[in-house]
Structure 1
Amino acid sequence: MNGQMYQIACIVAAARKALKSGKEICYKPEKYTNKLNFQILPSEKGEVTELSVTDWFKNLKEKGLKDLKLFCPISVEDRGILGFSNTTQSSILCFYKDGKASYFLPNWESASPGKGWDVTYTEYEWERSSQDIPHYENNIEEFKDILARIEDLAIKIECDNFAKVFHSARKFLLDPESGKGLAEPQIPPQHLSIFRAASAADVFGAMGSWNDEPGWLAQDKGLGQVYDELSDQLLRNIRLAILFAINEW
């Protein structure tokens, strides 16, 4: 899975668990993170405050946090950009007891060579047209189907390595016990298989990814349109699976 998506999913899962349990948030930054902080909305004096994950969550609770959700679009105009930083378009939605809402957008910047990434989540007011908190449906059956179909396409265009990836992702959905022991977000066991499948199936990157040579190979075999349609459906189902696994418990 894209490292940026993985991080925000883990943060939201940890925060939701802490909110439900009434305990402090328990989150350890990934090894590729050099610095991680949260910038909350400016005070009346215009001051910007930078907080650690622990202090960020305390601040949310002090403001009357009712719920928080991971948000990300289920489609993008250009899948090719997903191999670069700051392209997941994901955010953390926060809902408060007084009816207000805000969201945190991450910005990833490369630290000095070999030092990983500096990540800042900045808060913005959310002017919602509706007070409803978004909810997401379980797309496991559709996900299974698209993984089987895109595995078949990968075989036809002689991309056996990607066929194996899609096969493994589908296995996580068919056998919830497979894949245990992997580093995963703090979500209920019944949601872990869905997250594992989404993580394994996320093949959208830069050079060497599903965005690269497979597209040309499909075009050469007259399967370019099929490749585009299945790739769009795969991305959609990956995003829906992540949103369900992280948010709906």
Structure 2
Amino acid sequence: MNGQMYQIACIVAAARKALKTDQAILYHPDQYINKICFQILPSKNGEATELSVSDWFENLKEKGLKDLQLFCPISVEDRGILGFSNTTQSSILCFYKDGKASYFLPNWKSASPGRGWDVTYTEYEWERSSQDIPHYENNIEEFKDILTRIEDLAIKIECDNFAKVFQSARNCLLDPESGKGLVEPQIPLQHLSIFRAASSADVFGGMGSWNDEPGWLAQDKGLGQVYDELSDQLLRNIRSAILFAINEW
């Protein structure tokens, strides 16, 4: 899975668990993260405040946090951009007891050589047309189907390595114990299997990814349109699965 999507999913999961259990948030950034901070909305004097993950969560609770969710669009205009930083268009939605809402957008910036990444989440007001908190459906059956179909395509265009990836992702949906990772979001087991499948199936990157050679191979075999359609459906199902796994528990 894209590292930026993985991070925001883990932060939201940790925050939701802490909120539900009324405990402190437990989150530790990956080794490639040099610095992570949250910049909350400017105070009345116009000064911005930068907080650590734990201080950010406590600040949200002080403001009357009712719920928070991961948000990301389920489709993009150009899948090819997903190999670059700051292209997931993901954010953290925060809902407060007074009916107000805000969202945090991440910005990833490369630190000095060998120091990894500096990540800043900046808060903005969210003026909603509806006061309802978004709800996401379980797309597991559709996800299984698209994984089967795109695995068949990968075999036809002789991309056996990607066929194995899609098969592995489908196995995660069939067996909750399959595809365990080293560090995973703090969500229930039944949701973890869906998240693992989405993580395994996320093949959209730069050079060497599903966005690269497979597209040309599909064109050469007269399957270019099928490749585009299945790739779009795969991305939508990956994003939908992530939204359900992280938000609906």
Number of residue pairs the alignment of both structures matches: 249
What displacement does 1:180 show?
Answer: 3.1
Q: Deviations over 1:66-111 (max 9, x none)?
A: 0000000000000000000000000000000000000000000000
Q: How does 1:153-172 map to 2 (within 5 A)?
A: 153-172=153-172
Which residue of structure 2 aligns with residue 214 of structure 1?
A: 214
Which residue of structure 2 aligns with residue 130 of structure 1?
A: 130
Deviation above 4 Å: which 4+ runs of structure 1? none
Q: How does the TM-score come out when normalised to structure 2?
A: 0.99
Q: In structure 2, how many angstroms separate the alpha carbons of the residues matched to 1:125 and 1:66?
A: 16
Which residue of structure 1 aligns with residue 50 of structure 2?
A: 50
What displacement does 1:51 show?
Answer: 0.1
Q: How does the TM-score come out when normalised to structure 1?
A: 0.99
Q: Deviations over 1:193-241 (max 9, x none)?
A: 0000000000000000000000000000000000000000000000000
Q: Is residue 180–residue 196 contact of structure 2 (8 Å, CA) maintained in 1?
A: no
Q: How does 1:3-14 map to 2 (within 5 A)?
A: 3-14=3-14
Q: In structure 1, how many angstroms separate the alpha carbons of the residues matched to 2:79 and 2:94?
A: 28
Whichever residue aligns with residue 213 of structure 1, its letter is E
Q: In structure 2, how many angstroms separate the alpha carbons of the residues matched to 1:75 and 1:205?
A: 15
Q: In structure 1, how many angstroms separate the alpha carbons of the residues matched to 2:42 and 2:12?
A: 22
What displacement does 1:114 show?
Answer: 1.3
SS of corresponding position for 2:99 = coil
Structure 1, 62-71 or 176-185: larger mean CA deviation: 176-185
Mind listing any 5+ residue stretches in structure 1 that lack a counterpart? none
What displacement does 1:31 show?
Answer: 1.1
What displacement does 1:113 show?
Answer: 1.1
Q: In structure 1, how many angstroms separate the alpha carbons of the residues matched to 2:23 and 2:176?
A: 28
Q: In structure 1, how many angstroms separate the alpha carbons of the residues matched to 2:218 and 2:178?
A: 31
Which residue of structure 2 aligns with residue 175 of structure 1?
A: 175
Q: In structure 2, how many angstroms separate the alpha carbons of the residues matched to 1:232 and 1:172?
A: 21
Q: In structure 2, how many angstroms separate the alpha carbons of the residues matched to 1:247 and 1:32?
A: 26
Q: In structure 2, how many angstroms separate the alpha carbons of the residues matched to 1:98 and 1:224?
A: 51
Which residue of structure 1 aligns with residue 106 of structure 2?
A: 106
Which residue of structure 2 aligns with residue 116 of structure 1?
A: 116
Which residue of structure 2 aligns with residue 239 of structure 1?
A: 239
Which residue of structure 1 aligns with residue 63 of structure 2?
A: 63
Q: In structure 2, how many angstroms separate the alpha carbons of the residues matched to 1:239 and 1:119?
A: 22
Q: In structure 2, how many angstroms separate the alpha carbons of the residues matched to 1:113 and 1:156?
A: 42
What displacement does 1:181 show?
Answer: 5.2
Q: In structure 1, how many angstroms separate the alpha carbons of the residues matched to 2:159 and 2:107?
A: 34
What displacement does 1:182 show?
Answer: 3.1
Q: In structure 1, how many angstroms separate the alpha carbons of the residues matched to 2:154 and 2:114?
A: 35
What displacement does 1:179 show?
Answer: 2.3
Q: In structure 2, how many angstroms separate the alpha carbons of the residues matched to 1:232 and 1:32?
A: 30
Whichever residue aligns with residue 165 of structure 2, its letter is V
Which residue of structure 1 aligns with residue 21 of structure 2?
A: 21
